[in-house]
Structure 1
Amino acid sequence: MSETAVNEMSFEAAMAELEKVLGQLERGDVALEESIALYERGAQLKARCETKLKEAEEKVAAITLDGDGKPVGTRPVEGL
């Protein structure tokens, strides 16, 4: 497991670590206590990925297009 705080991770870093965590849990070759710690870390990583995806979706939705479909600016998105 990474020592990086989950709330400081990029989407890509969180997703990569989540995949590693899932792989370890699926193999089932870790002790019970470590499995619990991995599960907890995995839940945090999943939440981080969901948050980062939601932020990206909101930014994309805020892009304003002109008549030709070209971006001309953005509008404020509530909560950002």
Structure 2
Amino acid sequence: MTSKVEEALGYEQARDELIEVVRRLEAGGTTLEESLALWERGEELAKVCRTWLEGARKRLDAALAEDDDEPGPGEDGGGPGR
């Protein structure tokens, strides 16, 4: 479960922080405790990003479904294409 702070993070904020966490982990030089804390934060940030992306996908799918439901020109039987 995400905290209020993580819920308030926008996608770009979470992504940018996640990039920084990964950079620090890859650079090394941190203690085991620091590495574990960074890993846990990275997991939280990845979850925030995934939630944003899933929401965006649902909105896109809904918009595309809406477009599919609307008849195109001449498809409703009474438009200018007839």
Pairwise same-fold verdict (TM > 0.5): yes
User: Aligned ranges for residues 1-80 of structure 1 at < 5 Å?
Assistant: 5-63=5-63, 64-65=66-67, 66=70, 67=72
RMSD between superposed Cα atoms in Å:
1.5
TM-score normalized with structure 2 length: 0.73
Give 1:49 deviation, angstroms.
0.5
CA distance in 1, matches of 2:11, 2:54: 11
Q: Which runs of 5+ in 1 are unaligned?
A: 69-80
How far off its partner does 1:26 sit? 0.4
Aligned length, in residue pairs:
65
TM-score by length of 1: 0.74
CA–CA distance in structure 2, aligned partners of residues 14 and 40 of structure 1: 14
- Which residues of structure 2 form unaligned runs of 5+? 74-82
Per-residue CA deviations over 1:16-70 (Å, capped at 9, x if unaligned) read 00000000000111111111110000000001101100000000111112426xx
Work out the CA distance in 1 between the residues paired with 2:15 and 2:62: 25
Residue identity opposite 2:46 in structure 1: K
Equivalent-residue separation in structure 2 for 1:34 and 1:6 (angstroms): 20
Give the share of equivalent positions with the same residue, in percent: 37
* Distance (whole Å) between structure 1 residues aligned to residue 13 and residue 38 of structure 2: 16
Give 3-state SS (helix, strand or coil) of 1:22's partner.
Answer: helix
